Amino acid sequence: MIVEQIWTGNAYRNFNYLVACGETGEALAIDPLDFRKCLELAEQRGWTITQVLNTHEHGDHTGGNKAIIEATGATLIAHRDAGGRIPHVDRGVGAGDIIKVGKTVELECLDTPGHTMCHICLLSHTDQPALFSGDTLFNAGAGNCHNGGHPEELYETFRHQLDRLGEDTLLYPGHDYLVNNLAFTLDREPDNEVAREMLETYRDQDPDAALVTSLAQEHDINTFFRLQSPSVMARLAEEFPEIGDNPDPKTVFLKLRELRNTW
Ligand SMILES: [Zn+2]
Ligand SMILES: [Zn+2]
């Protein structure tokens, strides 16, 4: 499996992806908003884009569909319930469905509601797994729930799906929010030295060659994975005394999500 992360350079800071089979040169384009960059890169590499996947229905993920499909004839894949919101879906997928790319790549669909209720993450079946997480999980952060999502569903997705992924899983999110999210982590957990060092190192990183974290690193720096951290809980209780000294993980998650909305 060959992965190309494509920085769009837009105000929303989107990442697009090409995932290719090294044997056949067939490629899957994930959320190819910047269709020109995706098409150019595929051409440079000698790849053929045969499939497009939208992780969810938001315009900054679907906006390149028409142009890329006109140029390549690729089939369009999305959550099976997204059909009303994404035009011209050829294949609707749900939990456990497999997307094959060429001969060598298999990607498993995870049904991950929360950011929206029709959100798919892809988990590669490779020696070193990779997660294409759309707007569900970001470097050091979690998706918002303003536009068609629900925080409680997002918590359930973290608890029952993301928490179970292997530590060596590489994270390929839909946006570059690393620096802002690390600042939020440090606001919530000022003694998090791993996050502090990462922020210093990557504050001015080139998004064209962005840091790719593993889930092991995310467990250290992502507040939404650190629900039982004593300092996260103590800081939160300062703001929300009603949660008490020993809040359950769901309460912590929901309060963090609420704070991040206005932070
Ligand atoms: Zn979104
Ligand atoms: Zn987005």
Quick one: pLDDT at residue 135? 98
146 a catalytic residue: no
- Minimal CA–CA distance to 126: which of 170, 86, 74? 170
Q: How far, in whole angstroms, is CA 64 from its chain's centroid?
A: 18
Quick one: pLDDT at residue 208? 96
Q: Which residues of the chain have pLDDT under 50?
A: none
pTM (whole model) above 0.95: yes
125 a catalytic residue: no
Quick one: pLDDT at residue 240? 95
Q: Which of 34, 115, 119, 176 is catalytic?
A: 115
**How many angstroms is it from 249 CA to the middle of ligand 2?**
26
150 a catalytic residue: no
Quick one: pLDDT at residue 162? 98
pLDDT digits (tens, 9 = 90+) for 192-247: 999 999 999 999 999 999 999 999 999 999 999 999 999 999 999 999 999 998 99
61 a catalytic residue: yes
Q: Which of 58, 79, 111, 176 is catalytic?
A: 58
**How many angstroms is it from 233 CA to the middle of ligand 2?**
29
135 a catalytic residue: yes
b (16+ CB within 10 A) / e for 208-225: eebeebbbebbebbbbbb
